[in-house]
């Protein structure tokens, strides 16, 4: 392996030799002056991935982390992908024959690698950021489930996510078989009765079969962003987090229309009264056809927001 160095006995060329065709690495303006590379547009990349034919769940979750954390670089995201690949390579090959994926993943991720959740994780924003979950081995149920799903998928497992009310788990094989595991509990095996008890505890209602439908990547990512919004809601000083979480949600092909109004409220809360008021009025036009009374109330909110400029 050789290094890219100038040949011996020849002077090292620099920028002054530009007329001879030499250029230092990097972009240049029309006059040949060096320009610093523009920072990545993480939001644009998120939107493109979300609207692709087969959205990559891990990449979408990593891009959320890139928007959240200004220290994240392309190298950070690559390292996270490499870690998922490494973990997948540790899944015993025999599991492809036995099909006992839940036991194998629990042994590897829950016990050997230490991926598990604790109640305190609900109070940390990092628990919703995939690159941090991979680093800390801690996270919310849905992020730990994303780790399980991405490792299992790379290892060849028929895995899916199950967004039960109040708790996200993973399943293997035919969803009708309910071969479930709870990554937050280190991979504890779950039966259908366990799932029903979990739903009843969270909602007070019986388990509905529609709740057992595997979650699509877009729905999983929206739920991750909902968790981030829920984290920011009681923290007015972190309205910046709530705002970017709403804005990323709006980039998803499918999202609740009311998020547009939530964004408008956040803009007003952060002092952008004119933009917030304009977006409230736009949303009121949508509401005119379905709920005229709400549309009128929203217009009053927009008027009040403009009045705060006086």
pLDDT, tens digit (0-9, with 9 covering 90-100), for 243-254: 999 999 999 999
Is 161's pLDDT higher than 80? yes
Is 33's pLDDT higher than 70? no
State residue 109's pLDDT score: 98
What gap in Å lies between CA 118 and CA 141, rounded to an integer?
Answer: 10
Is 288's pLDDT higher than 60? yes
**pLDDT mean over 233-258:** 96
Residue 179 phi/psi, 5-degree rounding, is -90, 85
Q: What are the angstrom distances between the C-alpha of 215 and each of 28, 36, 189, 224?
A: 46, 41, 19, 12
Is 203's pLDDT higher than 50? yes
Is 7's pLDDT higher than 60? no
Nearest to 99 by CA among 181, 156, 54: 156
What gap in Å lies between CA 171 and CA 158, rounded to an integer?
Answer: 8
**pLDDT mean over 59-68:** 98
Is 290's pLDDT higher than 60? yes
Length of the chain: 310
Q: What are the angstrom distances between the C-alpha of 279 and each of 271, 286, 291, 298?
A: 14, 11, 17, 10
Is 10's pLDDT higher than 50? no
Prediction pTM value: 0.85
Is 216's pLDDT higher than 50? yes
* Contact yes or no for 141/127 (Cβ under 8 A): no
What gap in Å lies between CA 53 and CA 57, rounded to an integer?
Answer: 12
Across 35-39, 287-291, 299-303, least confident range: 35-39
CB atoms within 10 A of CB 215: 21
């Amino acid at each position: 392996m050789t290094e890219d160095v100038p040949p011996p006995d020849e002077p090292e060329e620099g920028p002054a030799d530009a007329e001879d065709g030499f250029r230092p690495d990097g972009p240049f303006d029309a006059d040949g002056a060096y320009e610093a590379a523009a920072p990545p547009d993480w939001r644009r990349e998120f939107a493109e991935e979300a609207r692709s034919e087969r959205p990559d769940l891990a990449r979408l979750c990593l891009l959320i982390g890139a928007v959240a954390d200004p220290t994240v670089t392309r190298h950070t995201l690559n390292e996270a992908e490499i870690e998922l690949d490494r973990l997948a390579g540790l899944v015993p090959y025999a599991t492809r024959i036995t099909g006992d994926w839940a036991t194998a993943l629990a042994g590897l991720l829950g016990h050997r690698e230490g991926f598990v959740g604790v109640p305190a994780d609900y109070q940390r924003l990092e628990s919703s950021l995939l690159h941090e979950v991979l680093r800390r081995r801690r996270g919310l149920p849905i992020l730990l489930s994303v780790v399980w799903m991405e490792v299992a998928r790379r290892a060849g497992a028929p895995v899916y996510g199950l967004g039960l009310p109040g708790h996200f788990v993973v399943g293997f094989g035919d969803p009708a078989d309910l071969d479930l595991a709870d990554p937050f509990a280190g991979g504890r095996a779950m039966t259908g009765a366990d799932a029903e008890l979990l739903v009843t505890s969270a909602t007070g209602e019986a388990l509905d079969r529609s709740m057992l439908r595997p979650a699509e990547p877009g729905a999983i990512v929206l739920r991750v962003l909902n968790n981030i919004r829920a984290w920011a809601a009681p923290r007015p000083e972190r309205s910046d987090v709530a705002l970017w979480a709403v804005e990323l949600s709006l980039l998803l092909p499918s999202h609740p229309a009311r998020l547009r109004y939530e964004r408008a409220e956040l803009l007003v809360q952060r002092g952008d009264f004119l933009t917030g008021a304009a977006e409230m009025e736009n949303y009121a036009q949508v509401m005119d056809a379905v709920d005229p009374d709400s549309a009128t109330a929203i217009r009053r909110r927009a008027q009040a927001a403009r009045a705060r400029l006086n």
